[in-house]
Structure 1
Amino acid sequence: MITQNKRLIGIVFSVGLILLIPLLGMLFTDEVNWNVFDFIVAGVLLLGTGLLCEFTWRFVKNMDYKIGIIAIILVALFLIWAELAVGVFGTPFAGS
């Protein structure tokens, strides 16, 4: 139980550290231009992905299924992130 709680704390801490990267970028250059909504969306995406991976790790017993499901979750994160950033698929949600 203690290990599982440490993983959850690690996920939340990692999301915070990842979100510090664009925040620091905004302090040093004008090329990074995020608003509060961007941070919220990125935080929800990262935290949601981390929690889905954690729940998969806890509840799926077969290691092959575990790895496959987590891989699908991560690919979905990267595709959504790319679409929001540059509009890979041209949906109305594209950032460009």
Structure 2
Amino acid sequence: MIVKKRIVIITLITVTLLLVPLIAMQFTEEVKWTLMDFVVAGVLLFGTGFLCEIAIRKTKNVKYRIAICLAILIVLLLIWAELAVGIFGTPFSGS
């Protein structure tokens, strides 16, 4: 029961975060996200939350939990930055 509740919370947080650019698109021309942008962002955000949930559930040591979740968040930020502006210059870069 608690696991389902946590998954619902992760989903609600993901949807809430995705509402920010959706609402911004209504008021300015500077935010131009496509459906694919929302899908990729949703997968990244939900995946990060889900992986942190798995790490919290499977790891007993609190220090390891924090370290694993921090590593997952750093990977999220690096992927997000690469997709947005291309800090590594891969073919997936946004610039």
For Structure 1 versus Structure 2, the TM-score category normalised by the shorter chain is: over 0.9
**1:10-29 matched pairs, under 5 angstroms:** 10-29=9-28
Matched residue, 1:76:
75
Structure 1: which 4+ aligned runs deviate by more than 6 Å? none
Deviations 1:23-61 (A, max 9, x none): 001110000000000000000000000000001010111
Matched residue, 1:35:
34
RMSD: 0.8
TM-score (ref. length: structure 2): 0.96
Which segment is superposed worse, 33-42 or 2-11?
A: 2-11
Q: Which runs of 5+ in 2 are unaligned?
A: none
Alpha-carbon separation, structure 2, partners of 1:23 and 1:81? 17
- Report the AA paired with residue 54 of structure 2: F
Give how far 1:8 is off: 1.4
Q: Which runs of 5+ in 1 are unaligned?
A: none
Identity, % of aligned pairs? 55
Give how far 1:9 is off: 1.0
Give how far 1:4 is off: 3.0
Matched residue, 2:48:
49
Deviations 1:38-95 (A, max 9, x none): 0000000000000000010101111111110000000000000001001111111001
- Report the AA paired with residue 65 of structure 1: Y
